[in-house]
Amino acid sequence: MEMEKFVVNVDCQKWANVLKLYKEGMKIKIDKMKIEKGKELNTLDSWFQNELPVAIQEREEKHITKPELCKLMKWKLSRGKFRPRLQQMVESNPEEIVVSASKKAFKCIPNLKKAIEELTVLKAVGPATASAVLAAGAPEHAAFMADESMQALSGLQPLQYTVGFYLQYMDKIKPILKILQKEDKSWTPHQVELTLWTYQYLKQADSALLNEALESGPKRKSENTNGNTKSNKKQKS
């Protein structure tokens, strides 16, 4: 099947087409939720993909604040499995410790193992949440541990949420990124993750949009739906 070849035989055009469907995938997900919860996820996802990366990039020393970490946790739980206790725990972290830990983490980049370890000293912050912080502030180096993104890759089942498993996940992303960057150097690990999420979610939803995106032909015209990671990178440069 055409869809089964997507991850194994990386076609730059098809990956770009699927990436542009991220918002459509989120819309399908949101439409299945209760109205208020869906509205909240829509707002939080827009903030995480667009506003938070800019805020972190603009700081003299990259870091995340306590309110941002709490909001990021709310985004993560809204997008995946809701665990209210994690939200309560993350809110108990002192502001100065959040700032200090995240500054240390971003200084460790590109060493993702050390960066994750610096962030996981915070209460309720495991490798998955830490990866979200890094994906927001350093999308050119890190991808978020989204369940769907990991499920789209072979050899990563059953899913685990450890530092070692995150590094295995990144090792799967790197060769894909290398192929994509041969055609377009602005591709990032975070964009690869978003594309994998979109592919897996639309595949599970049996959406005709995915079949259309995988058909050969000119690239689909669409607004930027890649979390502004390309534009953010240009602003930084």
Each of the 237 residues of the chain gets a pLDDT tens digit; together they read: 555 689 999 999 999 999 999 999 999 999 999 999 999 999 999 999 999 999 999 999 999 999 999 999 999 999 987 777 899 999 999 999 999 999 999 999 999 999 999 999 999 999 999 999 999 999 999 999 999 999 999 999 999 999 999 999 999 999 999 999 999 999 999 999 999 999 999 999 998 999 999 985 544 444 444 454 443 444 443
The answer to whether 104 and 121 are in contact (CB under 8 A) is no
Tell how many helices (H) and how many strands (E) occur in the chain: 15, 0
Q: Which domain holds residue 34?
A: 2-236
What is the C-alpha to C-alpha distance for residues 138 and 132, in angstroms, rounded to an integer?
10
CA distances, 206 to each of 15, 28, 130 (Å):
18, 11, 31
Cβ density class 43-59: b for 16+ within 10 Å, e for less: ebbbbbbeebbeebbee
- Three-point CA angle 141, 71, 231, nearest 5°: 40
Q: φ, ψ for residue 126 (rounded to 5)?
A: -100, -175
The answer to whether 173 and 193 are in contact (CB under 8 A) is yes
Three-state secondary-structure class, residue 83 = coil
CA distances, 181 to each of 117, 176, 231 (Å):
28, 9, 16
Q: Six-digit token pair at 229?
A: 């990671």
Record the pTM: 0.89
Domains identified in the chain, total number: 1
